Structure 1
């Protein structure tokens, strides 16, 4: 494979179930030596996408290439170059981690030493324990070790740190960094923004089967506009939030006022640069209604802010209230 060719190429991928598109025109690529997370809420299409990339499901439309080959028609020699860690790994419940790793090592021409992998993922203490007795985090670490056993050029990891304790998550992230340094491409799905912030070279945010944002974490954050963050002593009524929006919009274009999902004591004024005039107007509005502002700041945006904005996980915008 050419060093310049992406490890993964996905173009206009569509996957449907019962006539409903759960993946609807997804496109991205993953370079060698790159960690590329797919980030999104439950049901967004992340797992289906990686299952198609892994060759477990056939695309209904679009193009998918893994190490320049269609994964649905992949030969055993290609599959040996890809390390998979998918949900519900299907391990034999009576087998032990040391047995499982020796079995998978036998499938590869030049495997990593199973005993070394046991230590690498921190399973020495349960190496002789039957799989059914392992904790969720221990099963995750074993699945990660199985993905590593064949010295893969590409890793496809579905929620690799899910169920792990903080120490195991940190160790797993460090191992993923090492794989990137060795030139492997890493495609992973996650709900964990810490995984993304600490690992990602680029990230794609997927919602309702579509890519709604793609770029480096810094690029995604930079695409968000300025905002003023407000916290009130008590939750606002919807009518009060609408009143605040109507006041802020007077003489200002493109302004949005949003409440934080599940926390009506917090509001954000977005799309306008915070200035003394805006701050004075907000404090006058609060004083006129007897509403105490406990915090007011020109807030820097975060990846979490941008993720919530792109996936619509904020309260209904009220910038259209007259």
Structure 2
């Protein structure tokens, strides 16, 4: 456990001294060529100096407190035997201290969360790794996926809407809370005509479904995922294939819902059966429908917002967890539209 002491500054800047007992963990905390420290320095406008098993943080007092929280949270993660990635540092920088999320109603659902009360953290356990929401909006979204039978995730690309939904679906599946996972999206081309694709029906639709395969393969070993798909316990199919079905005891995700028409959205929402959870994700700024065709996501948001037990979760550019430039690009487009 790291210890800290604030040195009363005789002159600007203030200095905070943090002590870390395990030098090997401290090396991992600093990162190769101190790149982890550089990330924190750039984000908080502080200077971090290593002195033996201590880190001296120099800067404004408010920034020192944040830097200390981030460094200690990272060190605790390493103490727990967890790996450290760039995204973990980004998450700690984004997620400030706060109250723990409200408890979930059932004991079964409580087991799906592994919370660290000191770091106000939520983790989703899958076969391959633990998934941790990186922003407050993502944490609220994950909680709503467990709390509600129908949830919407609306926001720009890169905010983890689909990724977290698939992670929760895998979690509920491996814990026996649902019998199947069904992942779907409209087979709509993004602004350009690709013409006829070769192969059978699966070959033709797989390019549209690839992002869902990518997310699924992040949470399940390849052979296990392939076996479950072969057994139809995991289905990845275009939205058009949902008509006429009743989806019971399943975790169902509709991705890119902004490209569903109003009739398709109504059709999909009415597939919800007993024991199922349904998640609708979309980005209202990336509608690829023909001019004059109304987006089903817009209509669903307008018509269903007042219905209890249906949650709507919204993301902004601040929740982008891809490359930092993605957030800057989204903000630039939003500013231009405004």
TM above 0.5, yes or no, is no
TM-score by length of 1: 0.31
TM-score by length of 2: 0.30
- Which protein, 1 or 2, shows the higher relative CO under an 8 Å CA cutoff with sep ≥ 6? 1
Please say which structure displays the higher CA radius of gyration. 1
